């Protein structure tokens, strides 16, 4: 049975794509392995949002190529966004690379792996036909279909509801790597969620590049409700589903109908990841974000007024071209004021063929790093304060299995998407448990006395929104 090593870089969409690839390969008789040294197929699913992610994937593939002498039949492939962006040039730059598969061809990976591995194992001499470049942004039938028949369904699962992005933020390469927006039909998504729940899944996260703009070009509004709100309502009705999440949205997609969902749909978890990117109106305009700092502030206030327990996380870019000390100070002040539960803070890195890459006043890496560390100090102060406020409370946690860092303990997430670690038996995996929070360290909650939640009462994270 041939073995496959598959490593994923980047976002939840990439994780879901990797899951699809793994399931297709397992369905054909392959076995997944965590050890690249014993693999017959080595695949890296890549990210292009930041230069660091690309460099990590390229470095990893370079190191893995050293295994070729011991296992000359091994198939090496790069998948995903970097494959889409760089295309066939990767084949010429990396001599041992056999396969490059773009973002709209994941459903073809198993076919190509089969062909290449068969030829290598039989010492086929047609080497010129051995290497494939299947990079194409055109949508193909089947590229969004979900395959789960041969997979163990986890307690929490991702469900892709759309692909692509039409927003064209000046710093972002996603429209080029993922293509234009296109959405699955509600019935297809609900059917997938229902099947997951029937097989033991308790929580689903709906995925899209800009998830709350789902269906805006394909499906009509009904009774003043956007297609995305219609989808949330339909998924919410699936019997047996305990929790519903979505990521990642755009601030411009939060209308009143969506904001109200956090107050009226009990299964919708009290957490939203809401990318800010900058607190400077001048930079937000240069980024083509479509909102001002004040509009973002008002949106956060409306969400918290509608759902006082809501946890809000964000993305922020520092060092965007032309960012002055005043621009950065505005970002820092807004982050401090809004008191996010956590944030991903990124140093700007130029992406190929994006408008920001050719803008003047590119900042030095030293300035970017200084601002990155300074802003992280603000974010971390608020994040740890919010975690500390939960000590002494009882929270509902969905147990997802052993902790990544200590397999003798279990781990899970609260409704506010905070990680909780605790001692318990394997029987709790996949269960909603009530957990007494006893302490916090770093960005993790620690709890005791876990017991299966049976009363249907949702114990929410008491978020401090000051």
Beta strands of 324-461 (E only): which ranges? Answer: 342-347, 394-402, 410-414, 419-422, 432-441, 444-452
Domain map of the chain by residue range? 3-134, 156-386, 394-452
- Predicted pLDDT at 52: 79
CB 334 within 8 A of CB 278: no
- Predicted pLDDT at 149: 46
Least confident of 129-138, 180-189, 422-431: 129-138
pTM of the model: 0.81
Least confident of 118-127, 182-191, 299-308: 118-127
For the chain, the average pLDDT equals 88
- Residue 453: Cβ within 10 Å count: 19
- Predicted pLDDT at 381: 97
| pLDDT tops 90 at residue 20 | no
Q: With residue 132 as reference, give the H or E element that holds it.
A: strand 132-134
| CATH, domain range 156-386 | 3.80.30.20
- Predicted pLDDT at 19: 84
How much is the average pLDDT of 385-412? Answer: 94
- Predicted pLDDT at 323: 98
Q: How far apart are CA 260 and CA 296, in angstroms?
A: 17
394-452 architecture in CATH?
Beta Barrel (2.40)
Q: How far apart are CA 58 and CA 64, in angstroms?
A: 10
How much is the average pLDDT of 195-210? Answer: 94
Q: What percent of the chain is modeled with pLDDT above 90?
A: 61
pLDDT tens digits for range 142-186: 444 444 444 567 899 999 999 889 999 999 988 887 788 999 999
Higher pLDDT, 200 or 69: 200
- Predicted pLDDT at 461: 67
- Predicted pLDDT at 129: 46
Q: How far apart are CA 45 and CA 16, in angstroms?
A: 11
DSSP labels, 294-358: HHHHHHHHHHHHH-TT-EEEEEEEES-TT--HHHHHHHHHHHHHHT-SEEEEEE----TT-GGGG
| 41 beta partners | 4, 75
Residue 360 three-state SS: coil
3-134 architecture in CATH?
3-Layer(aba) Sandwich (3.40)
pLDDT tens digits for range 214-241: 999 999 999 999 999 999 999 999 999 9
* Residue 402 DSSP one-character state: E
- Predicted pLDDT at 124: 60
């Amino acid at each position: 049975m041939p073995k496959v090593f598959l490593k994923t870089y980047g976002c939840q969409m990439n994780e879901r794509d990797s899951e699809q690839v793994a399931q297709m390969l397992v369905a054909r008789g392959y076995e997944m392995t965590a050890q690249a040294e014993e693999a017959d197929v080595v695949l890296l699913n890549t990210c292009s949002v930041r230069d660091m992610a690309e460099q990590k994937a390229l470095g990893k593939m370079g190191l893995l190529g050293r295994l070729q002498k011991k296992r000359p039949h091994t198939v090496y492939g790069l998948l995903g966004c970097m494959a889409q962006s760089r295309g066939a040039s990767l084949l010429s730059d990396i001599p041992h690379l056999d396969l490059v598969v773009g973002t709209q061809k994941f459903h073809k990976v198993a076919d190509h792996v089969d062909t290449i591995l068969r030829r290598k194992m039989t010492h086929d001499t047609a080497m010129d036909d051995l290497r494939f470049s299947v990079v194409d942004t055109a949508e193909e039938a089947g590229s969004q279909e979900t395959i789960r028949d041969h997979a163990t369904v986890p307690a929490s699962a991702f469900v892709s509801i759309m692909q692509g992005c039409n927003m064209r933020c000046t710093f972002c390469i996603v429209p080029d790597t993922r293509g234009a927006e296109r959405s699955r039909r509600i019935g297809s998504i609900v059917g997938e969620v229902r099947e997951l729940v029937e097989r033991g899944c308790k929580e689903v996260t709906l995925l899209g590049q800009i998830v709350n703009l789902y269906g805006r070009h394909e499906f009509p509004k009904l009774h003043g409700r956007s297609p995305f709100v219609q989808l949330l309502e339909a998924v919410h009705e699936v019997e047996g589903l305990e929790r519903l999440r979505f990521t990642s949205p755009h601030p411009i997609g939060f209308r009143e109908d969506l904001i109200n969902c956090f107050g009226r749909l009990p299964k919708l978890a009290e957490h939203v990841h809401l990318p800010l990117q900058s607190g400077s109106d001048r930079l937000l305009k240069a980024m083509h974000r479509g909102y001002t700092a004040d509009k973002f502030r008002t949106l956060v206030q409306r969400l918290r007024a509608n759902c006082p327990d809501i946890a809000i996380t964000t993305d922020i870019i520092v060092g965007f071209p032309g960012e002055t000390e005043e621009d950065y100070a505005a970002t820092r002040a807004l982050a401090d004021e809004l008191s996010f539960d956590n944030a991903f803070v990124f140093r700007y890195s130029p992406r190929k063929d994006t408008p920001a890459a050719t803008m003047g006043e590119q900042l030095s890496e030293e300035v970017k790093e200084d601002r990155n560390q300074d802003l992280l100090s603000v974010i971390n102060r608020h994040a740890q304060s919010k975690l500390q406020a939960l000590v002494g409370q009882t929270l509902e946690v969905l147990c997802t299995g052993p902790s990544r860092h200590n397999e003798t303990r279990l781990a899970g997430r609260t409704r506010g998407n905070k990680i909780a670690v605790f001692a318990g038996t394997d029987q709790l995996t996949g269960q909603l448990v009530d957990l007494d929070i006893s302490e916090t360290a770093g960005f993790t909650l620690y709890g005791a006395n876990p017991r299966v939640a049976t009363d249907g009462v949702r114990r929410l994270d008491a978020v401090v929104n000051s």
